[in-house]
Amino acid sequence: MKKRYSHIIYFVISITISLTLSFDLLPLYGQDDPLKLIKDKQKELKEREENLKKEEERLLALRKDIDEKINQYSKLLSQIEEQLKEIKKTRDERLEQIVKTYEAMPPEDAAARLSELDEKTATKILSMMKPKKASAIMAVMEPKKVAGLTTGMLRIEKKFPTR
């Protein structure tokens, strides 16, 4: 039994000496006071936390600003799309009126006037006409012009979506 206690006593003494030496060596490593070290770390952590809060506030303000701009641009885009629809509607109405005007003309007069237009416009007008009227006008036109218009009528207009 004495041996067992002597080991324990030896162990306790060695730990005590070790702790005493390590506390004595703390000043050698620049850590005078463990409490001061803890306070410094706490201060550093508090500064970091404050910096993170400021950064978070800045990012939130930026996000709010970006969201406002997105809303403004979305409204503007909607307005532009509405205006484009109105313009297209007006253009289509005008084109229908022009088609009716050409259909009301005698075929010789309509042919002469359509021959003077650019091919794209003439093609649009002819393709919107009733087939009976368009054929009467094309029968009076120059064969080369009719060939070009017919080719134009066969082309498919490519429309790319805006979104």
Task: Give the residues of the chain that fall short of pLDDT 70.
Answer: 1-8, 10, 12, 14, 16-32, 156-163
Calpha distance 139→131 (Å, rounded): 12
Single out the residue of 77, 76, 83, 153 nearest to residue 120, CA to CA.
153
pLDDT at 22: 54
- Write the pLDDT tens digit of every residue in 7-18: 667 676 767 666
Read off the pTM.
Answer: 0.53
**Structure confidence at residue 70 (pLDDT):** 96
- Span 61-91, pLDDT tens digits: 999 999 999 999 999 999 999 999 999 999 9
Res 100: pLDDT: 95
Instruction: Give the model's pLDDT for residue 34.
Output: 82
